[in-house]
Structure 1
Amino acid sequence: MVAALPTAVLACVLGLAFSGAAAPTLVADSGALVRWGLPVVTVLSEAAAAVTLGSLVLLLFVLPRPTGPRAGDRAGGRSRPGRADRADGAAWTLAARVVGWSGPAWALLLVVDMVVGYASVAGRPLGGAGFGDELAFYLTEISTGRAALVTAIVAALASVACVAVAGYGTAMLAAVLSFSVLIPIATTGHAAGAANHELGMSGLFGHLASVCIWMGGLVVLCVVAPRLGRDLRAAVGRYSTVAIWAFLGVGLSGLANAWIRLGTLSAFLTDYGLILLAKIAAFLLLGVFGYVHRERTIPKLPADGGTRAVFWRLAGVEVLVMAAATGLAVALAATGPPVAQEPVEGLSPAEVLSQYPVPPEPTLARWFTEWVPDLLFGTISLVLAVQYLRWVWRLRRRGDAWPVARTVVWLVAVAAFAWVTCGGPAVYGRIMFSAHMLQHMSTVMVIPILFVLAAPVTLALRALPARRDGSRGPREWLLALVHSRAARFFGNPLVAALNFVGSMIVFYFTPLFEFALTTHLGHIGMVVHFSLAGYMFVNVLIGIDPGPARPSYPLRLLLLFGTMAFHAFFGIALISMTTLLAPDYFGALGLPWGVDALADQETGGEITWGIGEVPSLILAVSLAVAWSKDDARTAKRLDRAAERDDDAELKAYNAMLERMSKDG
């Protein structure tokens, strides 16, 4: 533990010395302090980031939280069943203190990194005449400087939340803010070039997040291990599961980043490629360690809180190898990659606006053969399919049944989501309004129906194991989300309907539409928001999963008919428009196959109308069938009750009518 940080710094220095990235420059040299100091500050900053994010993940998913005496425990000194399984939470408290220190340290180091980073970019030594004014101009007028300033501001907010961590709610807030710090970081560096811009950003964010969870989680687990007692084996086992997902995330995102920056296999022989090979070797070595520990070491951990020598053998070498890999990563980031990551000149207007090469003219076949490598949504699709099948397999192994039809519907939904976000609609949706509306309406109207019918929440609650030691696992977090105030609010029928229809007006008739077309973050926000809005609305109408109370069937049909009318109105409005939406974007593309932007927008309106009404009709039929089945079930229940009590309710009703007639 003591040697970890020096090991990271040493690996970084050796990597810089090997590549020559810290060598003096012939013009505008910033000095040795900046050339060597910036990578060292970056190592310290990434170490603080890893400890912060790793601590928060352990707090939220691994460690048992302190629990005070319950009412039943205080009354008569008797413990409720299961009380003996609950931990005292000393490790959780210590991890909260760790994040209370590491969060502010991370924010402070990012400020230092911002100042030293400007000196490196400008080729100026620290201080000197006019340095402060130049730094202010850099932070407010230059895109790289603005990203660094935003990073520091978000980190400052996250540090406040880290200091205030006292329970699951504040820990979740701190985690959301802390992971948000990585977003502007992912927009800079080698991944910010024009080539494969979106893949590079997603890959860098996924790489940073996965590494921080993996490395920081292990470091903090070492810190709190003496406080875990009999919970050590359970905590290490849970961390091992988190580490597997982080390992896969590091591998997948690292592969994407290497593909962008190397270009060819021969690039591995460059200084950049050789440092990358050393990092890959460390990654594979850590994978072997993890497998051996999971299969052999964890089962040997004492269940009674006894000797921890086995645990230290598990963690010690891994921490040092992770530290060395971190140092190599910083040296790698300071070294120029073989493939230049600068914006390419001589691009067409469509390539400049969409940030992607113009695809060939769309045909029926190309809608299914053209693909864009979207790392985020492609990974989400893969995880959704694999995890659902794992849960079904878990139920089958213990002898529980799960409808095959629901599994098939889920896989079809995932495949449709992958096609819409990575296939033809995503490729042509960047440059054609009609393709964009096909993507949008499929995301908000068609795919949510399939996801809802597959009942993923019900499956997860049946398949995921419950915890009884005071910690929260996926099942506990899912239950907390389903019964949260936010779920009740957005699951309210009127709110879900207003969000469903109102979002489209706000999105398409404000600058948000053009923001989603021109930025990766805006595109991600569009897909996520409308997917959730569609899911929440469909779940209100025909949902199977537990959640907020659903309205009566007449009200559901009323809401559905209202949205059908809105979609018809919205589609006709698009068909009738004589001006372009996002005119500075669609009007300036100049596609080589000669697309009439206004006619294409009219086609988009027709798609909106058609896709909006067909699923609505399917929902209406489904509601009518469900209403009929519900009435049939109610009638059977009343008939059984009448048989049990000799039709007491009907006799009481007839008696009341008889009394009323006599009184009259």
Structure 2
Amino acid sequence: MLVVVAVAAAVVGIAFSGAALPALVLDPGPVVRWGLPVAETLGEVLAATTIGALALAVCVLPRREERAAGARRPARATPAAYPHSLLVAAWAAGGWTLAATAQLVLSYANVAGTSLTDPQFGDELWLFATQIELGRTLGTVVVLAAVTTALAMVVRTPTGAAWTLLLGVVALWQLAQLGHAAGAAGHDLATSALFVHLVGAAVWIGALAALAVLVRVVGRDLAPAVARYSVIAGWCVAAVAVSGLVSAWLRIGSLAGLDSRYGVLLVVKVALLAALAGLGLLHRRRTVSALADRTAASSAGASASRLGATGLFWRLVLVELVVMGAVSGVAVALASSPPPVPEEPPAAPTPAYQVTGHPLPPEPTFARWFTEWRWDLLLAFATVAGIVVYLRWVRRLRRRGDAWPWARTASWTVGLLLFGWTTNSGPATYGHVLFSAHMIQHMVLAMVVPVFIALSAPVTLALRALPVRSAALAGDVSRGPREWLLVLVHSRLGSFFAHPVVAAVNFVVSMLLFYYTGLFEWSLRSSVGHLFMVVHFSLAGYLFVNSLVGIDPGPRRLGYPQRLLTLFATMAFHAFFGVSLVSSESLLVADWFGLLGRPWGASAIADQQTGGAITWGIGELPTLALAIGVALAWSRDDDRRARRRDRRTRDEDPELDAYNAMLQSLEARNPTTP
């Protein structure tokens, strides 16, 4: 039903927008014009089903393990819904592979304006898939979908399903590169918005579709599965709504753009999404609790109640799947239609535009560090979501009577706000054209933000606030957020990188590798590279700070003298690295910073030397603050030990004990005779 409605909506939307009308020159034919949107629709629906089925296996479906006495083979997962979800993912991924292959073939025919029966079509298609960026991206999606199919057929554990899910998400990132860019100037924001949109929609739509396929084998676990999905769906609705609004504004430019055929399709999609969100909210408030009651009655042996529970589930699913299919079809029609905002670069691009793909920002002033924005929707959404989740966890603790220090909440809020400013405002805007601004962004992410995050103890809060799966459902060994967090904390990989020595070495060496290899240039030219830089250095900084003054669990921390020695070594490294940049006459990524043609500011090499001084200064101040913190913690620890010795002294009276011991030794040497 989902596929049929999606294809029908796509065909109607394409016909309305006129995107499938014959081209005046080099028309590929009706098979290509109409077949391409159909292939795209099938690919999106099957990709969503793949992602959704894997998400069910990773964190939604209840899972129990049964092992025969004395058996050497791994435990078998029960009930049948869990292994069946991986089977659904494998079949959907196989269909996604075929649809992605058809999209690759038809996309080349559409771009080249050639027929599928052309004698040279095969050779030209190979060149398209290996030499042209569009073809390489589509070919990468085909390969990733095929590998996802193979993995979904062989994995049996939640960890394997999680890695397979990650591979599918990477394929969605590739698809995000193909959407409307709203002109080159908004490409990065449009790409990040489309990626958030695709992932949110895939989990929202795909998980419900997969759950509908599995409803007959879920059995008595239907109610908890639907309840867990409902929570995930709520976050997906928020992600889809925010990213959809951003993408829509980029593509229509103003309210006047709603008068176009593209604008009409956009309004239809927004209305369908609003209706879908309303249905989801209604079902979450009414149907989920009723489903739990009827499922409990069915477990007690009432067959009529079992049918009632299944019927209640289908009442929840049918209308939503129809609307979801319509939304998917309209989305494909939108992607195939030209938006009101042209996707053409400026007629006379500046050198900065040719290098970076963005207009050169105005000369930086103190105010512009807070008023100039270069949004990354993925990081901005993560910032807001992080603050909301933390505050909800604190509220959950207080509702059950547990205390949580307000200073930790304030520390988390300040750290996340600073993270959002660093990745979306002045440091992000000017960090793309000034090495000095880039170093401000880098050092704040690696040295300042982690201090606030470590002192807020997010892992400790999560372990206290998140529910335990087995407590909610007896015998359930599936992994919810709390269980996945424990897996990460106690895994060999997590323990290795969290070890104080490894965290310090990683913090120091990764900076050298980043700036003196091609990674730095990759972070400038690629949004994926930039995201890698942000995530890696923020996480490396957190692990380093947590090993020194943090509260969150981790491997055994070093003694206080060793911690201070590590900090002083880090301080020396930052001084060395900063001085090397200040004294260097060789420009890093010269074909980037040296070709921007800035009419303002210092020369590129002088700016790089300024960046070295900033690295030295910003690196030393947090390190000095950490050293003071370690010294204070050392002092408090000594005081606690002294108080323990004092209590032991008062309780045991060591002088009297020593006197008695002396008398006993004298008696042993000179025993009295009767």
Class of the TM-score when normalised by the shorter of the 2 chains: over 0.9
Give the residue type in structure 2 aligned to 1:107: T
Question: TM (normalized to structure 2)?
Answer: 0.92
Q: Distance in 2 between matches of 1:532 and 1:154?
A: 27
Q: Distance in 2 between matches of 1:247 and 1:649?
A: 72
- TM superposition shift of 1:245: 0.5
Counterpart check, 1:194 vs 2:201 = no
Counterpart check, 1:122 vs 2:80 = no
- Which of 14, 18, 32 lines up with 1:16 in the alignment? 14
Name the SS for the 1:228 alignment partner: helix
Q: Distance in 2 between matches of 1:126 and 1:650?
A: 99
Q: Distance in 1 between matches of 2:230 and 2:34?
A: 36
Compare 628-637 and 130-139 and name the one that shifted more: 628-637
Q: Hey, what does 1:303 align to over in structure 2?
A: 295
- After superposition, the C-alpha distances for 1:457-498 in whole angstroms (9 at most, x for unaligned) are 111111111111222211111111111111111011221111
CA shift in 2, pair 1:35/1:651, >3 Å: farther
Aligned length: 644
- TM superposition shift of 1:183: 1.4
Compare 352-361 and 474-483 and name the one that shifted more: 352-361
Counterpart check, 1:538 vs 2:583 = no
- Which of 600, 607, 614 lines up with 1:600 in the alignment? 607
Q: Which runs of 5+ in 1 are unaligned?
A: 75-85
Name the SS for the 1:190 alignment partner: coil
Name the SS for the 1:189 alignment partner: coil
Give the residue type in structure 1 aligned to 2:109: A
Counterpart check, 1:313 vs 2:315 = yes
Q: Distance in 1 between matches of 2:657 and 2:171?
A: 66
Q: Distance in 2 between matches of 1:196 and 1:544?
A: 41
Name the SS for the 1:580 alignment partner: coil
Matches within 5 A, 1:249-648: 249-301=239-291, 302-304=294-296, 305=298, 306=306, 307=308, 308-468=310-470, 469-647=476-654
Counterpart check, 1:30 vs 2:22 = no
Q: Distance in 1 between matches of 2:623 and 2:583?
A: 22
- TM superposition shift of 1:155: 2.2
Counterpart check, 1:107 vs 2:97 = yes
Q: Hey, what does 2:83 align to over in structure 1?
A: 93
Contact 1:487 1:548 in 2 (8 A): no
- TM superposition shift of 1:275: 1.1
Contact 1:12 1:331 in 2 (8 A): yes
Give the residue type in structure 2 aligned to 1:67: E
Question: TM (normalized to structure 1)?
Answer: 0.93
- After superposition, the C-alpha distances for 1:535-585 in whole angstroms (9 at most, x for unaligned) are 111111111011222122222112111111100000000000012111111
Q: Distance in 2 between matches of 1:136 and 1:342?
A: 27
Q: Hey, what does 1:78 align to over in structure 2?
A: none
Contact 1:446 1:615 in 2 (8 A): yes
Compare 607-616 and 345-354 and name the one that shifted more: 345-354
Q: Distance in 1 between matches of 2:173 and 2:90?
A: 22
- Which of 212, 223, 243 lines up with 1:222 in the alignment? 212
CA shift in 2, pair 1:165/1:345, >3 Å: farther
Contact 2:62 2:224 in 1 (8 A): no
Q: Distance in 2 between matches of 1:232 and 1:613?
A: 55
- TM superposition shift of 1:650: 8.7
Name the SS for the 1:218 alignment partner: helix
Name the SS for the 1:590 alignment partner: coil
- Which of 163, 188, 213 lines up with 1:173 in the alignment? 163
Contact 1:49 1:103 in 2 (8 A): yes
- TM superposition shift of 1:96: 1.5
- TM superposition shift of 1:644: 4.7
Contact 1:64 1:87 in 2 (8 A): no
- TM superposition shift of 1:116: 1.3
- TM superposition shift of 1:648: 10
Contact 1:66 1:90 in 2 (8 A): no
Name the SS for the 2:587 alignment partner: coil
Where does structure 1 differ by over 6 angstroms across 4 or more consecutive aligned residues? Answer: none
Q: Hey, what does 1:147 align to over in structure 2?
A: 137
Q: Distance in 1 between matches of 2:115 and 2:244?
A: 34
Give the residue type in structure 2 aligned to 1:29: D
- After superposition, the C-alpha distances for 1:400-419 in whole angstroms (9 at most, x for unaligned) are 11111111111111111111
Name the SS for the 1:6 alignment partner: helix
Q: Distance in 2 between matches of 1:643 and 1:203?
A: 66
Q: Distance in 2 between matches of 1:594 and 1:287?
A: 49
Q: Distance in 2 between matches of 1:121 and 1:314?
A: 42
Give the residue type in structure 1 aligned to 2:243: S
Contact 2:223 2:295 in 1 (8 A): yes
- TM superposition shift of 1:506: 0.7
Name the SS for the 2:65 alignment partner: coil
- TM superposition shift of 1:342: 3.0
- TM superposition shift of 1:647: 4.2
Q: Distance in 2 between matches of 1:139 and 1:363?
A: 46
Q: Distance in 2 between matches of 1:509 and 1:181?
A: 30
RMSD: 2.2
Matches within 5 A, 1:650-661: none
- After superposition, the C-alpha distances for 1:214-265 in whole angstroms (9 at most, x for unaligned) are 0011111112222222222111111111111111111111111101111111
Compare 517-526 and 568-577 and name the one that shifted more: 517-526
- TM superposition shift of 1:138: 1.2
Q: Distance in 2 between matches of 1:70 and 1:286?
A: 45
- After superposition, the C-alpha distances for 1:589-625 in whole angstroms (9 at most, x for unaligned) are 1112143111111111110000111111111110011
Give the residue type in structure 1 aligned to 2:383: S
Contact 2:396 2:465 in 1 (8 A): yes
- TM superposition shift of 1:631: 2.1
Q: Distance in 1 between matches of 2:50 and 2:282?
A: 27
Name the SS for the 2:531 alignment partner: helix
CA shift in 2, pair 1:97/1:648, >3 Å: farther
Compare 51-60 and 340-349 and name the one that shifted more: 340-349
Q: Distance in 1 between matches of 2:655 and 2:88?
A: 67
Q: Distance in 2 between matches of 1:502 and 1:160?
A: 36
Counterpart check, 1:213 vs 2:220 = no
Contact 2:9 2:329 in 1 (8 A): yes
Instruction: Give me the identity figure in percent.
Output: 50
Give the residue type in structure 1 aligned to 2:600: W
Name the SS for the 2:180 alignment partner: helix
Q: Distance in 1 between matches of 2:586 and 2:626?
A: 33
- TM superposition shift of 1:343: 2.9
Q: Hey, what does 2:125 align to over in structure 1?
A: 135
Name the SS for the 1:340 alignment partner: coil
Q: Distance in 1 between matches of 2:269 and 2:201?
A: 12
Give the residue type in structure 1 aligned to 2:567: L
Q: Distance in 1 between matches of 2:542 and 2:655?
A: 44
Give the residue type in structure 1 aligned to 2:355: L
- After superposition, the C-alpha distances for 1:177-222 in whole angstroms (9 at most, x for unaligned) are 1111011211123137403111011011111111110001111111
